[in-house]
Structure 1
Amino acid sequence: MQREERVMDATLDAVLQRVVDIKGSLQELLVKIEREGEQGDWPSYLNSFSVISAQIYTLMKLLKNEKTPILRNYLTLPLQLNAESDEKLLVATEGRVPSFSHDFVPNMLRTKPEPDMEQKHQALEAKMAQVNSDTAQKQINIHNRVVKHVMDLVNTAREEWETETAARTSQPQTCSLNETQILVAALGTGKGFKIRAQPPGPSPTIQQPPPQISTASKAVSAVKTNIKAATSIHPYSR
C-alpha cells in the first residue's frame, strides 16, 4: 500500500511539472501575441507552437506509460473544508481560489460536465433515439466512407511527397558551387591564372621594308627639266 502511494505521489509530481511547463509556454505565447500583434515574427510563433506540441506529447507519453497508474481508477475527495483564506492554496492557484470552502468544492472537484454541456448532450442523445436504426447505420456507413476517402487522399499525397523528396535527394550532383565560384572569379578578375616570365635577352626587332620611290615624283621632275630646256632656245633669236 505504501509503495502504491509513493508511486502515485511521484506520478502526480511528474504530471504537475509537465502541466506547469505547458502553462508557462502558453503564457509566454500569449504575452508575445499581445505585445507584437500583427507585426509578430511568424517563425518565432511556429517555434513556440513546436515547443508546446512537444510538451503535450511528453505529458501524454507519461500518462500512457505502463508504470504510470491509471488515474481514472482513483477518486479525489476533500479531506478538510475551511472557509478561511489559505495562503498556500492562494499561491498554488495564482490567486484564483482563496479558500477551499463549500462554494468551490463542486467546481474544483466536478466529475460531471457543466449544466449547459449536459443539456446539449442529453438533447443529442434524444435526437439519436428518434432516428431509425437502419437510417442511423446508413449514415454511419456513409460517414465512414467519406472519412476513408479523405484518409486515402491524405495518404496518397503523403506518399507522393515522400517519393518526390527521396528522388530529389537521390539525384546525382551535376554542378559544384565551389567550382562555379572559382570559374567566375577566373573569368572576371583573372584569379588563379599564372603569368609566365619572359626569358632574358635582346628584345626582337621588327624589320621594316625599304622605302619605295614613287614614279609620280620622277615624272614631275622630268617635266620641269624639259620645260627649262625649251625656254632657253628662242625661235626669233637670230
Structure 2
Amino acid sequence: MQRDGKQLEASLDNLIPKVQDIKNSIGTFLMKLENEYTTMTWPSVLDNFALLSGQLNSLGRLLKSERMPALRNYVFLPLELNPERDVELEKQTEGRVLAFNHEVVPDYLRTKPEPEVEEKVQQLFTKAGTVAQDNTQVLNPDRSFVPQNKRQLNALTKITSNILDIINSAREDWENETSKKSNPSPTANMSDTNVLIAATCFGKGLKQLRRPDINTQQQITVAQQQAMQQKSQHGNALKAPSTIKTNIKSASSNHPYQRP
C-alpha cells in the first residue's frame, strides 16, 4: 500500500505540470481570440492548435505509460464540506471555487455524465446498434473508412462523382464570371462613332436632295390640265344624240263593269 501511494504521488507530480501547461495554452489562445482577432492570421491559429495537440498527445502518452497507475481505480471522496469561504481553496482554484459545499461537490467530483446527457448518449448507442449490416463501416489502419459491400461502394462512388461535378460546374461558372469582369464587352464602336461625328459636323456621307425647278412644275401643271380637257372632250364625243321618239297613247278599253 505504501509503494502504491508513493507511485500515485509521483505520477500526480508528473501529471499536474502537463495539465497546467495545457491550461495555460488554452487561456493564452482564448485571450488572443478575444483581443487580437482583428490582426490574428490563420497560420497563427494553426500554430496554437498544433501546440495544444502536441500537449494533449504528451498527456495521453503519460497516462498510458506503465509507471502511471490506473487512475480510474481510485475514488475521490470529499472528507469535509464547509459552506464558509475557503481562502486556500480559492487560491488553488484561481478564484473559480470559493467554498467546498454541497452545491459544487456534485459538479466537480462527478465521474459520470449528467442523467440527461447519459440518456441521450444511450439513445445514440441504441440507434447505432439498429443500423443494418449493409450500412456499417470499418476503419483501415490509416483511419480511413471502407464500405463493407459492393452496393455501398457504388453508392459512395456515385455521391463522390456528383460532388465532383458540382465543384467543377461551380469552378467553370466562377472562371467565366472572372473572365467577364476582367474583360468587359465593348459598349461602343469607334469607327461608327467617327462616322456619326463626321456626318453631324461636316455632312460627310450625306446625299443632297435635288429641289424641283419652278418651270418644271409649271410645265407639269399645264400638261395635266390639257390632259384633263382632252379627256372631258373625248367623253362628250362618245355620247350620240337620241333620234328615236316614242309616242305613248292611252288605249281605250271597255270595262265590263263600266257605268253608262
Which range, TM-score by smaller chain? 0.5 to 0.7
Question: Is the deviation greater in 35-44 or in 56-65?
Answer: 35-44
Q: Structure 2: which 5+ runs fail to align?
A: 148-260
2:138 to 124, 128, 144: 144
- Structure 2 partner of 1:95: 95
State the 1:69 CA deviation. Answer: 0.5
| In structure 1, distance between residues paired with 2:8 and 2:108 | 20
The letter of the residue matching 1:136 is: A
- Structure 1 partner of 2:166: none
Q: Does the CA contact (< 8 Å) of 2:89 and 2:99 recur in 1?
A: yes
Q: Does the CA contact (< 8 Å) of 2:81 and 2:100 recur in 1?
A: yes
| In structure 2, distance between residues paired with 1:5 and 1:34 | 43
The letter of the residue matching 1:144 is: V
State the 1:22 CA deviation. Answer: 0.5
State the 1:125 CA deviation. Answer: 4.7
- Structure 1 partner of 2:207: none
- Please tell me whether Structure 1 or Structure 2 has the larger radius of gyration of its CA atoms: 2
- Structure 1 partner of 2:77: 77
Report the CA distance shift for 1:43/1:128 in structure 2 as closer, same or farther (over 3 A).
closer
Can you list the C-alpha shifts for 1:120-163, whole angstroms capped at 9, x where unaligned? 1233355467x4xxx633332xx2388126xxxxxxxxxxxxxx
The letter of the residue matching 1:14 is: N
1:104 matched to 2:104? yes
Alignment of 1:40-51 (within 5 A): 40-51=40-51
Question: Is the deviation greater in 38-47 or in 108-117?
Answer: 38-47
Alignment of 1:179-198 (within 5 A): none
| In structure 1, distance between residues paired with 2:31 and 2:62 | 28
Bigger relative contact order, structure 1 or 2 (CA pairs below 8 A, ≥6 apart): 1
- Structure 1 partner of 2:115: 115
RMSD over aligned Cα, in angstroms? 2.2
1:26 matched to 2:26? yes
- SS of the residue 1:37 aligns to: coil
More helix per residue? 1
Report the CA distance shift for 1:17/1:126 in structure 2 as closer, same or farther (over 3 A).
same
Report the CA distance shift for 1:105/1:147 in structure 2 as closer, same or farther (over 3 A).
same
Report the CA distance shift for 1:124/1:54 in structure 2 as closer, same or farther (over 3 A).
closer
- Structure 2 partner of 1:184: none
- Structure 2 partner of 1:154: none
- SS of the residue 1:144 aligns to: strand
Q: Structure 1: which 5+ runs fail to align?
A: 150-238
State the 1:27 CA deviation. Answer: 0.8
| In structure 1, distance between residues paired with 2:46 and 2:33 | 12
